[in-house]
Amino acid sequence: MQTKILLVYTGGTIGMAKDYGDQSLKPFNFDNLLKRIPELSLLDCSFDYSSFETPIDSSDMKPEYWVEIAHTIRDNYEAYDGFVVLHGTDTMAYTASALSFMIDNLEKPVIFTGSQLPIGDLRTDAKENLITSIQLASLRKDHQPLIKEVCIYFEYKLLRANRATKINAENFDAFESPNYPVIGVSGVHLEVKEDLTLKLPITGPLTINEKYSTDVGVLKIFPGMNRSFIESVINAPSIKAFIIEAFGTGNIFTDQWFIDLLKEKVAQGIHLIINTQCAGGMVEIGRYATSDALLEMRAISSYDLTMEAAITKAIYLLGQDLTHEEFRTAYEANLKGELRKHHYIE
């Protein structure tokens, strides 16, 4: 039997066309997009599509839209074998990571894709990305979907969504997964490395956890940073989780005023999370003396999370009404394949 795929169109460059008034790229209607890829009719699967009422540039993406995408998947879950979400590349890693946290008991593929050049462009990367994403979403083994997680497919690579990050605004090869291997490769054959795919125990029907809170602050530190800027950002009212993008393995400058400020915030109940500015590798609080104070105040480690996963995980967990200890335990746990606590070789 032919597999049935639902395309969920949210916007992004893939479906944009040039506005001849101001020459800028604006999202356009999905019917136009399909007309520009006649090759889709050659695929050995059937598909339907669902589109945002007004397609958006993904810079305008918000958690309300994450919930809308999740609802579309939930409402169509029984009727389709897989889902391909067409999304702008700018915030694709955020949406795809958020979805990985929000959806439980996922037994079908949810593949995010997009493109760097619009579908109508002669040199577009959209066709390959879209066609291969649909093929990946259709892959089955022993009558079961081969992929049972949220992924990003882009420029011949299939990545775990909550491990992926946009690293290039120019190259077609726009995404990378610095701390987890590529799950699949599109070459002459489509190769999915089954041992690397997510295999979580299924405990019931698919559910969507749509509670969230965006009371999350992020501070990227740099040498010689202005004190009043840091104070005003860290003292911002209503922020409940604060992520510091620290140096290297989670190191910070040790000026007493900075340490005192962080201690004060932790004492007030803020979830202080330490991430790293490095794309690869992981946070190891306490490895250097410059993170000793963080160890002492029991800052939460984001280990090897991407920044996108670190932020969306905080947004998701803040919505779950957890105590500080429950938040810490959940944040530092590997919920959906997004995190590893130890080096492969110690």
Residues with active-site annotation: 13
Residues 16-75 contacting ligand ASP, CB under 6 A: 57-59
Instruction: Please tell me the distance from the alpha carbon of residue 124 to that of residue 118, in angstroms, as a whole number.
Output: 6
Name the segment binding ligand ASP (CB under 6 A); options: 9-17, 130-138, 257-265, 290-298. 9-17
Task: Rule CB under 6 A: say whether 113 interacts with ligand ASP.
Answer: no
Q: Distance between CA 44 and CA 135 in Å, rounded?
A: 8
Residues in the chain: 346
Please list, residue by residue across 292-304, b when 16 or more beta carbons sit within 10 angstroms of its beta carbon and e when fewer do. ebbeebebbbbbb
d(CA 266, CA 295): 12
Minimal distance, residue 324 CB to ligand ASP, in Å: 35
Which token pair is 329?
Answer: 């335990």
Instruction: Determine the interface stretch with ligand ASP among 88-96, 149-157, 220-228, 282-290 (rule: CB under 6 A).
Output: 88-96
Candidates 55, 82, 88, 145: give the one binding ligand ASP (CB under 6 A).
Answer: 88
Q: Contacts by 155-158 with C-beta closer than 8 Å and gap 24+?
A: 155/125, 155/128, 155/129, 156/128, 156/132, 156/185, 156/186, 156/187, 157/182, 157/184, 157/185, 157/186, 158/111, 158/182, 158/183, 158/184, 158/185, 158/186, 158/192
Query: Among residues 110 and 119, whose Cβ is nearest to ligand ASP?
Result: 119
When binding is defined by CB under 6 A, the residue of 6, 7, 12, 137 that contacts ligand ASP is: 12
- Asked if residue 171 binds ligand ASP (CB under 6 A), the reply is no
For ligand ASP, give the closer residue by CB, 90 or 245.
90
116 belongs to the binding site for ligand ASP (CB under 6 A): yes
129 binds ligand ASP (CB under 6 A): no
DSSP letters, 43-62, are SSEEEEEEEEEEEE-GGG--
Taking CB under 6 A as the rule, does residue 89 contact ligand ASP?
yes
Nearer to ligand ASP, 91 or 138 (CB): 91
Is residue 245 part of the contact set for ligand ASP (CB under 6 A)? no
Q: Which C-beta is closer to ligand ASP: that of 166 or that of 271? A: 166
Give 84 or 266: the residue with its C-beta nearer to ligand ASP: 84
CA 246 to each of CA 32, 156, 165, 284, 307: distance values in angstroms, whole numbers, following the listed order? 45, 32, 18, 11, 11
Does position 10 interact with ligand ASP (CB under 6 A)? The reply is no
Residues found near ligand ASP in the complex (CB under 6 A)? 11-13, 57-59, 88-90, 114, 116
